[in-house]
A and B are shown apart, each in its own frame.
Chain A
Amino acid sequence: MASSVRENEIGLERGDYAGRPTTLCKGCGHNSISNQIISVAYDMSIDPTRVIKLSGIGCSSKSPAYFMSRSHGFNALHGRMPAVATGATTVNKDLIAIGVSGDGDTGSIGLGQFKHMVRRNIPVVYIVENNGVYALTKGQFSATADQGQQLKYAGVNELPPIDICLEAIAAEASFVARSFAGDPGQVRELLKAALSHRGTAVIDIISPCVTFNNHETSTKSYPWGKQHQEVLQDITYIPYADPIMVDYSAGAVIVVEMHDRSHLWLQKIEASRHDPTNKIASLNLLEESREKNLFPTGLIYVDENRPAFNEVSHLVDEPLVSLPDEKLRPPREALDQVIAKLS
């Protein structure tokens, strides 16, 4: 596509995907992620009126207000966005759900709902903006904070962190990725892949909190991330419409066909050789990273065969919200039959 064309395939400009001005701190990783969502939705010519933006509570959860104002947004309760996403996507399967959560929202108060959403494979792009800290309440440790870490008021964190990607895979996730707000290119390609996924796509993005947790000793900081990020694979998202023309030598690339028949080209990087279609390898990768304090990013695990929740709910093909009254209210005779059986 020529970049001089300002309108995308559905006649919208990038500005049509903008949100309201952010109220987050200058330099917050979350703002960068919002910008990548805008770019990706524009690039993919996604109809913003089909998108719903969902979140819980916290700094991360404010961000849906800062992208795609033409999409309905829902800033729900702390840790409860997965249930809201489940309800909305079940009654209207035509919606494209983008959820934005944080490490407190997902890793603590909402861990149960997160895992059950993943287990059900609710069709939602579920972004965790992970900064290891409760920022709105001014600097408490979150469940993803590093063990032994010190914060000004909270003291020393004696507990091991929860790994959101590990939790997701343990709950039978079908798409798990990790990225870094300081690597917008990777965030974009992962978002495109996630939007093509049929079930829950979990993207755990290390998104530094510049106010409370951006010092070099924190694994959720820009400096640490920039130094330690190990990119697992070069990801190229190829929409269904584009012909596949990339040359590759056997074994160097893994091609994943997404449910919507787009493709992911995963150019392996010599050092990692990670196969994201192998669950055990994915679990090993995460466990090893945890032990050695490594920061691999990219697509960690994907299973395009697992059906989404609305595919196993035995519901009519038409979205439930579009059904006319006569399909929802059985006729008078149906009630007469019930009554006849009860008298």
Chain B
Amino acid sequence: MSDTQHTEKISSEDEQRTIINDFQIVIATVNGTGSQTANTILLRSLFRMGIPVCGKNIFPSNIQGLPTWFTVRVSKDGYIARKETSEVLVAMNQVTIGEDIDTLPAGGVCIYPADWKVTERADIHMYPVPVKELLKSADVPSNLRDYVSNMVYVGTLAALIEIELVEIEEALKFHFSGKTKAAEMNMTVVRAAYDWAMDHLPAINPYRVERLDLTKNMIMLDGNSAGALGAIFGGVTLVAWYPITPSTTLVDALREYVQEMRLDPETGKSTCAVVQAEDELAAIGMVIGAGWAGGRAMTATSGPGMSLMSEFAGLSYFAEIPAVIWNVQRVGPSTGMPTRTSQGDVLSAYFLGHGDSKHIVLLPNNLNEAFEFGWRALDLADRFQTLVLVLSDLDLGMNPWMSEPFKYPDEPIDRGKVFTAKDLERLGTFSRYKDVDGDGIAYRTLPGTKHPLAAYFTRGTSHDEHAIYSERPEHWVANTERLNRKFDTARSKVPAPVINEVDGAQIGVIAYGTTHPAVVEGRDLLRRKAVKFDYLRLRALPPGEDVRKFIEKHPRCYVFENNSDGQMAKILQTEYPEYASKIVSLAHLDGLPLTAERLVTLLLQKENA
């Protein structure tokens, strides 16, 4: 319990105020009690009402018993960042209920089971709900009651904030795709709770939703599924992986999509191998073996797994073998907070491996980019014959997001520079690491190419342009310079940053990935305080000329990111040492997605300092 005393009564002003389509609900439950279904139903039914929504699952690394929170934000203005404060609380965890009630602002609403003893707060609306009685009275077999009990708060909320029952029904049908009985049974409980609430709760409540038309033609999905779909459409042929939260559902989704879309219609056999490896070392090893042999190969992991993959990352860089790693970031160092989000692997991903190694890094910020980078990463890996890391995070990967529909890839599959037997016949010569085109990218041949000139020896040891082992200083230097040239070629070929400039902006803001929604909202909040900024959203590393120009033209550039050390700021300071003092880190990490409120506070603190 907090020390705060909430003794004031709800003011008459609060009583009359109604807030429509602009608040946040928090549902506090115990992990493993099946609340995920109820929360998803809530989110989707609001989404179906045309209201922009944002759902965040704040869950523990645990199977059963620890507290879990799910926030649902509705925003008529279309903001999809998490908010610091929730106004409506569904308190279904007896352990945390006191703490949860304390977080409500004055005038807030709390729904909780009627048989729990709670310390009431006079300045909020407290609505006890007879959960057990409602379950008993609903026509549900007693052995199934536990599964549907969370529908009580769905029904209660529906009555209280005016969610349309028909949309809840549709959301249930969607969730239980085809299993009519399950959907109906859940709906029975929703109705029972709804009816009870209509009869017993006050008719007027401060927080309400109303149908809008802002989610038309949009989809709702999690980023891991979007990334998996992208890879499917990128022609991935091998996925090797080792289970680790929060990346596991990416491969789970991918396996399902393979069954849906990548089976040969005649034989029913697959065109994509999915191999669960014994560890992350083996997972990336399989990817490298496959990429070397001409496969389109990727793995999905998180921080600890990426650390284990670092030796192979260096091999990919140095021996020039295509590979893709999806790192769905969680909080580190070490085991850290395995079920909380972060952007803490940016620095290690960019330079993963010992020696002078550096990698192409893609930074998706939404579902569409997760999908696009899903296929583009495979193309870039083949084009540059190197490792490409896609840095997603738990927030993007595991939370549900609304999004414009995915765009079908607008470029053909790119398999990069590969000589066939015919090419070799025509050319009469082949040197694996020779820079024929001047872009640093040499031609390779695939094992199995039927030509006496095709073979070469791939090695992580120093080699000359014919792939022969060499420790001669001039060979080492020449190869390093070519690798650097190749990396520079990538600067203009990776996804360009999105730059948004406004009149009268004094400062620049740089962000990437899932900090974006907070920047969008924070920008509007700051405008009201007469602070305007130009905004550059990074979508990939290495950065190109447009990033340099953006930093150059602003006296200060604030870099927002979800880590403690300001990792991207450090990278940019290293890339542009001449502007190092203009690049100011506003990094913040607490395991939760960045909010606009936090962003504004951080920025004003620095600006006013």
Given A80-B282, A313-B273, A332-B408, A325:B290 Cβ within 8 A: no
Write out the residue numbers on chain B whose beta carbons fall within 8 Å of the beta carbon of A314: 269-270
Q: A interface, how many residues as a size bin?
A: 35 or more
- Nearest CB of chain A from residue B100's CB, rounded to whole Å: 32
Q: Is the CB of A338 within 8 A of B413?
A: no
Question: A116: CB under 8 A from chain B?
Answer: yes
Q: Is A245 an interface residue (CB 8 A)?
A: no
A48 at interface by CB-CB < 8 Å: yes
Asked if A328 CB lies within 8 Å of chain B CBs, one says yes
Q: How far is the CA of A113 from the CA of B308 in the complex (A)?
A: 14
Contacts of A70 in B (CB 8 A): 452, 454-455
Cβ contacts under 8 Å, B412 to chain A: 325
Contact between B455 and A342 (Cβ–Cβ < 8 Å)?
A: no
Please encode chain B, from 224 to 258, with 1 for each CB lying within 8 Å of some chain A CB and 0 for all others: 00000100111111101000000000000000010
**Do A342 and B460 touch across chains, with their CB atoms under 8 A apart?**
no
Q: Is B526 an interface residue (CB 8 A)?
A: no
A327 in the interface (beta carbon within 8 A): yes
- For residue B296, CB closer than 8 A to chain A, the reply is yes
A318 and B277 CA atoms in complex are apart in Å by 23
Decide yes or no whether B6 CB sits under 8 A from chain A. Answer: no
The residues of A that contact B229 with a CB separation of less than 8 Å are 335, 338
Chain A residues numbered 123-168 whose CB sits less than 8 Å from any CB in chain B: none
Q: Does B405 make an interface contact (CB < 8 A)?
A: yes
Stretch at the interface among B25-33, B260-268, B332-340: B260-268
User: Is there contact, CB below 8 Å, between B312 and A90?
Assistant: no
Instruction: Flag if A323 contacts B271 (CB, 8 Å).
Output: yes
CB distance B267 to A77 under 8 Å? no
Interface string of B471-497 (1 = CB under 8 A from A): 000000000000000000000000000
* A73 & B458 in contact (Cβ 8 Å cutoff): yes
B281 at the interface (CB under 8 A from A): yes
Please, how many angstroms separate the alpha-carbon atoms of A77 and B308 in the complex? 13
The answer on a CB contact under 8 Å between A335 and B406 is: yes
Bound CA span A85–B285, Å: 9
Residues of B in contact (CB 8 Å), total 73
Contact, CB under 8 Å: A87 / B237: no
- Per the bound structure, the CA–CA distance linking A52 and B455 in Å amounts to 9
Q: Who on chain A is nearest to B319 by CB?
A: A74
Among A95, A116, A329, the one with the most B-chain Cβ atoms within 10 Å of its Cβ is A329
Question: Is there an interface contact between B219 and A320, defined as CB atoms closer than 8 Å?
Answer: no
Contacts of B267 in A (CB 8 A): 316-317
Contact pick for A49, options B219, B406, B455, CB 8 Å: B455
Say whether A260 faces chain B, with CB atoms less than 8 Å apart: no
* Interface residue from A88, A91, A113 paired with B282 (Cβ < 8 Å): A113
Using known A-B contacts A87-B289, A92-B294, determine if residue A74 contacts B458 with beta carbons closer than 8 Å: yes
A76 at the binding interface (Cβ < 8 Å): yes
Pick the contact of B448: A76, A95, A334 (CB < 8 A). A95
Closest to B449 in A: A49
CA distance A112 to B277 in the complex (A): 11
The residues in A between 278 and 336 inclusive whose CB is less than 8 angstroms from any CB of B are 313-317, 319-321, 323, 325, 327-330, 332, 334-335
Minimum Cβ distance to chain B for residue A264 (Å)? 27
Q: Is B287 an interface residue (CB 8 A)?
A: yes
Measured CA separation A83–B283 after assembly (Å): 7
Residue among B262, B278, B452 facing the most chain A CB atoms (10 A cut-off): B278
With beta carbons under 8 angstroms apart, the residue of A92, A113, A329 that contacts B281 is A113
**Interface 1/0 per residue, A53-76 and B, CB below 8 Å:** 000000000001100011111111
Query: Chain B residues with Cβ under 8 A from A74's Cβ?
Result: 289, 292, 457-459
Q: How far is the CB of B386 from chain A (nearest CB, A)?
A: 16
The answer to the question of A94 belonging to the interface, with a C-beta cut-off of 8 Å to chain B, is: yes
Nearest Cβ on chain A to B230's Cβ, whole angstroms: 10
CB pair A91–B219 under 8 Å, yes or no, is no
CA distance A3 to B221 in the complex (A): 68
A320 touches B461 (CB 8 A): no
Q: Min CB distance, B467 to chain A, in Å? A: 9
Contact in complex: A83, B282 (CB < 8 Å):
yes
The 4 tightest CB contacts between A and B, nearest first, are A83-B285, A87-B289, A328-B235, A91-B295
A and B contact pairs by CB, cutoff 8 A, 21 listed: A20-B468, A49-B452, A52-B447, A64-B457, A77-B315, A83-B282, A83-B288, A84-B288, A87-B238, A87-B290, A92-B293, A92-B295, A313-B273, A313-B275, A319-B448, A323-B271, A329-B409, A330-B262, A338-B257, A343-B218, A343-B219
- Show the binding face of A for B, using Cβ within 8 Å: 16, 20, 47-50, 52, 64-65, 69-77, 80, 82-92, 94-95, 112-113, 116, 313-317, 319-321, 323, 325, 327-330, 332, 334-335, 338-339, 342-343
Additional 5 contacts, C-beta under 8 A, given A87-B240, A313-B273, A320-B237: A75-B461, A83-B286, A95-B447, A320-B273, A327-B271
